[in-house]
Protein backbone atom coordinates (compact mmCIF):
# COMPACT_ATOMS: atom_id res chain seq x y z
CA UNK A 1 0.00 0.00 0.00
CA UNK A 2 1.04 3.64 -0.32
CA UNK A 3 2.99 4.94 2.66
CA UNK A 4 2.36 8.63 2.30
CA UNK A 5 0.06 11.15 0.69
CA UNK A 6 1.64 14.47 -0.22
CA UNK A 7 -0.93 17.23 -0.59
CA UNK A 8 -0.85 20.51 -2.41
CA UNK A 9 -2.70 23.16 -0.39
CA UNK A 10 -4.33 25.85 -2.54
CA UNK A 11 -7.14 24.22 -4.53
CA UNK A 12 -6.87 20.82 -2.84
CA UNK A 13 -7.30 21.42 0.89
CA UNK A 14 -8.91 24.84 0.64
CA UNK A 15 -9.88 27.15 -2.16
CA UNK A 16 -7.50 30.08 -1.74
CA UNK A 17 -6.74 30.33 -5.48
CA UNK A 18 -9.37 33.02 -5.72
CA UNK A 19 -7.71 35.10 -2.95
CA UNK A 20 -4.35 34.84 -4.74
CA UNK A 21 -6.02 35.94 -7.94
CA UNK A 22 -7.86 38.89 -6.33
CA UNK A 23 -4.61 40.14 -4.81
CA UNK A 24 -2.71 39.78 -8.11
CA UNK A 25 -5.55 41.42 -10.00
CA UNK A 26 -5.48 44.42 -7.69
CA UNK A 27 -1.71 44.87 -8.16
CA UNK A 28 -1.91 44.27 -11.92
CA UNK A 29 -4.61 46.90 -12.34
CA UNK A 30 -2.36 49.50 -10.72
CA UNK A 31 0.26 48.63 -13.30
CA UNK A 32 -2.29 48.88 -16.12
CA UNK A 33 -2.53 45.15 -16.74
CA UNK A 34 -5.98 43.57 -16.99
CA UNK A 35 -6.22 39.93 -15.91
CA UNK A 36 -9.21 37.77 -16.80
CA UNK A 37 -10.22 34.73 -14.72
CA UNK A 38 -8.80 32.24 -17.21
CA UNK A 39 -5.31 33.71 -16.70
CA UNK A 40 -5.44 32.35 -13.14
CA UNK A 41 -4.72 28.87 -14.49
CA UNK A 42 -1.19 30.09 -15.38
CA UNK A 43 -0.62 31.24 -11.80
CA UNK A 44 -1.77 28.15 -9.93
CA UNK A 45 1.04 26.25 -8.23
CA UNK A 46 3.85 28.57 -9.31
CA UNK A 47 5.67 30.68 -6.71
CA UNK A 48 5.13 34.40 -6.27
CA UNK A 49 8.19 35.56 -8.21
CA UNK A 50 7.27 33.44 -11.21
CA UNK A 51 3.62 34.54 -10.92
CA UNK A 52 4.64 38.21 -11.07
CA UNK A 53 6.92 37.54 -14.01
CA UNK A 54 4.06 35.83 -15.92
CA UNK A 55 1.70 38.74 -15.16
CA UNK A 56 4.21 41.35 -16.35
CA UNK A 57 4.97 39.37 -19.52
CA UNK A 58 1.23 39.09 -20.16
CA UNK A 59 0.98 42.89 -19.92
CA UNK A 60 4.02 43.50 -22.12
CA UNK A 61 5.97 44.84 -19.11
CA UNK A 62 8.56 42.09 -18.76
CA UNK A 63 11.66 44.33 -18.64
CA UNK A 64 10.05 47.51 -17.30
CA UNK A 65 10.99 47.33 -13.61
CA UNK A 66 14.07 47.13 -11.39
CA UNK A 67 14.70 44.23 -9.00
CA UNK A 68 13.77 46.48 -6.07
CA UNK A 69 10.47 47.43 -7.69
CA UNK A 70 9.66 43.77 -8.33
CA UNK A 71 10.28 42.96 -4.67
CA UNK A 72 7.97 45.82 -3.63
CA UNK A 73 5.24 44.50 -5.97
CA UNK A 74 5.54 40.99 -4.48
CA UNK A 75 5.28 42.43 -0.97
CA UNK A 76 2.28 44.54 -1.89
CA UNK A 77 0.46 41.52 -3.32
CA UNK A 78 1.36 39.41 -0.30
CA UNK A 79 0.16 42.06 2.18
CA UNK A 80 -3.22 42.13 0.49
CA UNK A 81 -3.28 38.32 0.31
CA UNK A 82 -2.58 38.09 4.06
CA UNK A 83 -5.57 40.30 4.87
CA UNK A 84 -7.73 37.99 2.71
CA UNK A 85 -6.54 34.74 4.32
CA UNK A 86 -7.19 36.16 7.78
CA UNK A 87 -10.83 35.29 7.10
CA UNK A 88 -9.99 31.61 6.48
CA UNK A 89 -11.52 29.24 9.06
CA UNK A 90 -12.41 25.51 9.33
CA UNK A 91 -15.51 26.26 7.24
CA UNK A 92 -13.19 26.74 4.26
CA UNK A 93 -11.87 23.16 4.28
CA UNK A 94 -12.88 21.57 0.99
CA UNK A 95 -15.46 18.75 1.24
CA UNK A 96 -14.09 15.34 2.25
CA UNK A 97 -10.61 16.54 3.17
CA UNK A 98 -10.86 16.32 6.95
CA UNK A 99 -12.40 12.84 6.75
CA UNK A 100 -9.56 11.76 4.45
CA UNK A 101 -6.92 13.14 6.83
CA UNK A 102 -8.53 11.20 9.69
CA UNK A 103 -8.66 8.00 7.64
CA UNK A 104 -5.01 8.37 6.60
CA UNK A 105 -4.03 8.81 10.22
CA UNK A 106 -5.94 5.79 11.45
CA UNK A 107 -4.31 3.71 8.70
CA UNK A 108 -0.81 4.94 9.67
CA UNK A 109 -0.26 6.71 6.37
CA UNK A 110 2.11 9.68 6.66
CA UNK A 111 0.75 13.06 5.60
CA UNK A 112 2.91 15.69 3.91
CA UNK A 113 2.44 19.15 2.44
CA UNK A 114 4.13 20.33 -0.77
CA UNK A 115 2.76 23.83 -1.29
CA UNK A 116 4.56 26.63 -3.09
CA UNK A 117 2.98 29.06 -0.64
CA UNK A 118 5.08 30.60 2.10
CA UNK A 119 1.75 31.31 3.80
CA UNK A 120 0.84 27.61 3.97
CA UNK A 121 1.54 27.03 7.71
CA UNK A 122 -0.63 30.03 8.60
CA UNK A 123 -3.47 28.79 6.37
CA UNK A 124 -3.30 25.27 7.85
CA UNK A 125 -3.50 26.82 11.31
CA UNK A 126 -6.52 28.94 10.35
CA UNK A 127 -8.19 25.81 8.96
CA UNK A 128 -7.41 23.90 12.17
CA UNK A 129 -5.53 21.23 10.17
CA UNK A 130 -1.90 21.98 11.04
CA UNK A 131 -1.49 19.05 13.47
CA UNK A 132 -2.46 16.44 10.89
CA UNK A 133 0.76 17.04 8.95
CA UNK A 134 3.84 14.93 9.60
CA UNK A 135 5.92 17.21 7.39
CA UNK A 136 5.63 20.53 5.59
CA UNK A 137 8.16 21.52 2.93
CA UNK A 138 9.55 25.04 3.30
CA UNK A 139 9.29 26.39 -0.28
CA UNK A 140 11.77 29.20 0.42
CA UNK A 141 14.54 26.58 0.75
CA UNK A 142 14.00 25.01 -2.69
CA UNK A 143 16.23 25.62 -5.70
CA UNK A 144 13.35 25.19 -8.14
CA UNK A 145 9.61 25.46 -7.58
CA UNK A 146 6.84 23.59 -9.41
CA UNK A 147 6.80 22.33 -12.18
CA UNK A 148 10.21 21.02 -10.98
CA UNK A 149 9.82 17.85 -8.88
CA UNK A 150 12.05 19.08 -6.02
CA UNK A 151 9.19 20.05 -3.67
CA UNK A 152 7.61 16.57 -3.83
CA UNK A 153 10.99 14.82 -3.64
CA UNK A 154 11.83 16.91 -0.57
CA UNK A 155 8.54 16.00 1.12
CA UNK A 156 9.35 12.29 0.64
CA UNK A 157 12.94 12.76 1.88
CA UNK A 158 11.70 14.55 4.98
CA UNK A 159 9.45 11.54 5.69
CA UNK A 160 12.13 9.04 4.71
CA UNK A 161 9.78 7.43 2.18
CA UNK A 162 10.60 6.50 -1.43
CA UNK A 163 8.54 8.47 -4.03
CA UNK A 164 7.45 5.13 -5.54
CA UNK A 165 5.52 4.52 -2.30
CA UNK A 166 3.81 7.90 -2.41
CA UNK A 167 0.78 9.59 -3.96
CA UNK A 168 0.76 13.32 -4.74
CA UNK A 169 -2.48 15.30 -5.00
CA UNK A 170 -2.68 18.49 -7.04
CA UNK A 171 -5.11 20.86 -8.73
CA UNK A 172 -2.60 22.65 -10.99
CA UNK A 173 -0.93 21.76 -14.26
CA UNK A 174 2.48 22.74 -12.86
CA UNK A 175 1.90 20.53 -9.81
CA UNK A 176 1.00 17.43 -11.83
CA UNK A 177 4.22 17.84 -13.86
CA UNK A 178 6.15 18.07 -10.57
CA UNK A 179 4.55 14.90 -9.13
CA UNK A 180 5.04 12.94 -12.35
CA UNK A 181 8.71 13.89 -12.57
CA UNK A 182 9.22 12.88 -8.94
CA UNK A 183 7.98 9.37 -9.89
CA UNK A 184 5.13 9.48 -7.41
CA UNK A 185 1.62 8.50 -8.47
CA UNK A 186 -0.29 11.66 -9.41
CA UNK A 187 -3.93 12.38 -8.64
CA UNK A 188 -5.41 15.54 -10.14
CA UNK A 189 -8.41 17.33 -8.67
CA UNK A 190 -10.39 19.34 -11.19
CA UNK A 191 -10.61 19.86 -14.91
CA UNK A 192 -9.71 16.92 -17.17
CA UNK A 193 -8.37 19.22 -19.91
CA UNK A 194 -5.92 20.96 -17.57
CA UNK A 195 -4.87 17.88 -15.59
CA UNK A 196 -4.74 15.39 -18.46
CA UNK A 197 -1.17 14.29 -17.62
CA UNK A 198 -2.23 13.05 -14.16
CA UNK A 199 -2.28 9.28 -13.53
CA UNK A 200 -5.82 9.67 -12.23
CA UNK A 201 -8.27 12.59 -12.22
CA UNK A 202 -11.14 13.29 -9.84
CA UNK A 203 -13.63 16.02 -10.49
CA UNK A 204 -13.63 17.38 -6.94
CA UNK A 205 -12.52 16.60 -3.38
CA UNK A 206 -15.83 14.92 -2.47
CA UNK A 207 -14.58 11.98 -4.55
CA UNK A 208 -11.17 11.95 -2.85
CA UNK A 209 -11.66 9.25 -0.22
CA UNK A 210 -9.31 6.74 1.40
CA UNK A 211 -11.09 3.88 -0.41
CA UNK A 212 -10.74 5.68 -3.75
CA UNK A 213 -7.00 6.15 -3.18
CA UNK A 214 -6.68 2.43 -2.32
CA UNK A 215 -8.54 1.52 -5.51
CA UNK A 216 -6.32 3.83 -7.62
CA UNK A 217 -3.18 2.40 -6.01
CA UNK A 218 -4.24 -1.22 -6.46
CA UNK A 219 -5.08 -0.67 -10.15
CA UNK A 220 -1.93 1.24 -11.10
Q: Whole-angstrom Cα distance, residue 72 to residue 138?
A: 22
- Burial-class residue 139 by CB neighbours within 10 Å (0-12, 13-18, 19+): buried
Concatenating the DSSP letter of every residue in 32-79 gives T----GGGGGGTTTS-HHHHHHHHHHHTT-TTSS-HHHHHHHHHHHHH
Nearer to Mg ion, 71 or 206 (CB): 206
Min separation Cβ 218 and ligand BG6, Å: 30
Q: Residue 212, annotated ligand binder?
A: no
Residue 25: which of Mg ion, ligand BG6, none does it interact with, CB under 5 to 8 A by kind?
none
Nearer to ligand BG6, 53 or 78 (CB): 78
How many residues bind to ligand BG6 according to rule CB under 6 A?
Answer: 16
**The pairing of beta strand 4-7 with beta strand 110-113:** parallel
Nearer to ligand BG6, 188 or 210 (CB): 188
Active site residues: 8, 10
Q: Which residues bind ligand BG6 (CB under 6 A)?
A: 9-10, 20, 43-48, 51, 78, 115-119
Q: Residues comprising the binding site for substrate?
A: 8-10, 24, 43-48, 51, 77, 115-119, 146
Amino acid sequence: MFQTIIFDLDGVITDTANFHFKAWQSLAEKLGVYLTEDFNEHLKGVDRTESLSRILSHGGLKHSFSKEELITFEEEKNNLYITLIDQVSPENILPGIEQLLNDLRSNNVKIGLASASRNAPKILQNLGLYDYFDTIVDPSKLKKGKPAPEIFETACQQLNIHPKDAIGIEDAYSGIQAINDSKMLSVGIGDLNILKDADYILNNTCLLTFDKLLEIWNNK
